[in-house]
Amino acid sequence: MLDVREQVPLAPLTTFGIGGPARYFVDVTSEKEIMQALHWATRKNVRAVLLAGGSNVLVPDEGLEALVIRIAQSAYDISGATLIADAGCNLCELIGKTAAAGLGGWERLAGIPGTIGGAVRGNAGAFGTEMRDIVVWVRAVDMESGEVREYTNEECHFSYRMSYFKRNPALFVTKVCVALEEVPPVEAQRIIEETVAERERRHIQDVRAAGSYFMNPVAPKAIQSRFEKEKGVAARGGRVPAGWLIEKAGLKGARVGGAQASEQHPNYLVNTGTATAADVRALAERIREAVQDAFGVELQEEAVVLGRDGRTVR
Ligand SMILES: Cc1cc2nc3c(=O)[nH]c(=O)nc-3n(C[C@H](O)[C@H](O)[C@H](O)COP(=O)(O)OP(=O)(O)OC[C@H]3O[C@@H](n4cnc5c(N)ncnc54)[C@H](O)[C@@H]3O)c2cc1C
């Protein structure tokens, strides 16, 4: 029996800490419950919106006139060097558990908030490691047809912060299988700690934000060369960091209301305490225009910006 609640505050369920309530809200723990929740939303004539760890979403100030379905499945199983985890498992906890079991290969993802399902959808990555490097298969429910199937790594069509699931929002990831390698637990733990310390050094991680707000764009050759000369690192795949472009466009530290482009990492749009979703969106727009004017480069959101009816607006 589904326990659908009404007017559930969403701000505390997101790392931004911003946004109004969900008109309807339900936790689901099985594929059967997902389907029940979808039928419920259809009967009520409202959109179903998936929420997992809430670390990459901006909820509108008025809240969502929708059924928010939060994935609460969080069982996992380690067999040999293979991990099979429910989509609702916290990514960092899994990296820690597998390290303790003498398995690694994904330690550089330590510190990325949210669930393993959310990480698959956005092909989350850091320090040169991405989800696509270790995913074997992904199980997903098609919320339109009800079909449940497993997708091989190839079928996930992973690319930079992109996957088949992100392109097809009707797919609800329910399980993920990853292949790891044997690593002494002490060594795996050392890499995790090093990674988390490096993240903290680059930017305090305990902030009200959604991580990088914009994706790193592919830039014209001249801008790539300017970046490479200044930073002494290659523009991988022709992409330059959005944070660098924002800084060069003069908007490091820029504010709109309570939202600020971080002084330390300008691609983190931070809720300094009083930011509204409107503040964040206005700041994002200002940044987009400034970067377009300065470099002719269009920034695209990595964060999922939701409209009142639950549709993604950017
Ligand atoms: C401080 C901080 C640092 C960050 N650093 C990084 C980083 O280094 N690298 C990086 O890649 N990201 C980073 N992020 C962004 C974020 O952590 C990732 O995008 C994360 O993978 C999102 O997972 P989530 O469970 O929180 O998803 P949510 O924010 O809950 O959802 C994001 C989107 O994914 C969809 N979704 C979630 N779960 C599923 C599912 N099971 N099936 C289908 N769709 C789903 C949601 O509907 C939504 O559209 C950072 C965020 C913060 C706050």
Catalytic, 262? Answer: no
79 a catalytic residue: no
User: Which of 61, 48, 105, 96 shows the shortest CA–CA distance to 76?
Assistant: 96
pLDDT of residue 204: 75
Query: In ligand 1, which atom is closest to the CA atom of 126?
Result: 8
- Active-site residue 161, yes or no? yes
CATH 3.30.465.10 maps onto the chain at 76-183
- Which residues fall within 8 angstroms of residue 55, CB to CB, at 6 or more apart? 14, 15, 112, 113, 114, 118, 210, 211
Task: Please name which of 167, 143, 166 lies closest in space to residue 69, comparing C-alpha atoms.
Answer: 143
pLDDT by residue, tens only, the chain of 314 residues: 899 999 999 999 999 999 999 999 999 999 999 999 999 999 999 999 999 999 999 999 999 999 999 999 899 999 999 999 999 999 999 999 999 999 999 999 999 999 999 999 999 999 999 999 999 999 999 998 989 999 999 999 999 999 999 999 999 999 999 999 999 999 999 999 999 999 998 877 789 999 999 999 999 999 999 999 999 999 988 999 999 999 999 999 999 999 999 999 999 999 999 999 999 999 999 999 999 999 999 999 999 999 999 999 97
Q: Where in the chain is the domain with CATH 3.90.78.10?
A: 204-305
- Ligand 1 centroid–CA 138 distance in Å is 16
Phi/psi for 130 (5° steps) reads: -130, 165
Angstrom distance (rounded) from CA 298 to CA 103 = 40
CATH architecture of 76-183: 2-Layer Sandwich (3.30)
Tell me the Ramachandran region of residue 161: left when phi exceeds 0, alpha when psi lies from -120 to 50, beta otherwise: left
Topology, domain 5-71: 3.30.43
pLDDT at residue 188, rounded to an integer: 97
114 alpha carbon to ligand 1 midpoint, in Å? 6
Of 161, 208, 281, 288, the active-site residue reads 161
Q: Which CATH class is domain 204-305?
A: alpha beta
Q: Which of 212, 281, 288, 301 is catalytic?
A: 212
Sign of CA dihedral 285, 113, 115, 125: positive
- Residue 262 Cβ inside 6 Å of ligand 1? The answer reads no
Task: Considering the chain, tell me which residue range(s) the CATH 3.30.43.10 domain(s) occupy.
Answer: 5-71
Q: CA 95 to CA 2: how far, in whole Å? A: 31
How many A from CA of 55 to the centre of ligand 1? 5
The predicted structure's pLDDT at residue 182: 97
Answer yes or no: is the C-beta of 211 below 6 A from any ligand 1 atom: yes
Cα 138 from Cα 148, distance rounded (Å): 11
162 close to ligand 1 (CB < 6 Angstrom)? no
pTM of the predicted protein model: 0.96
DSSP-assigned letter for residue 285: H
Q: Is the CB of 88 under 6 A from ligand 1?
A: no
Residue 93 burial (C-beta neighbours within 10 Å; 0-12, 13-18, 19+): middle
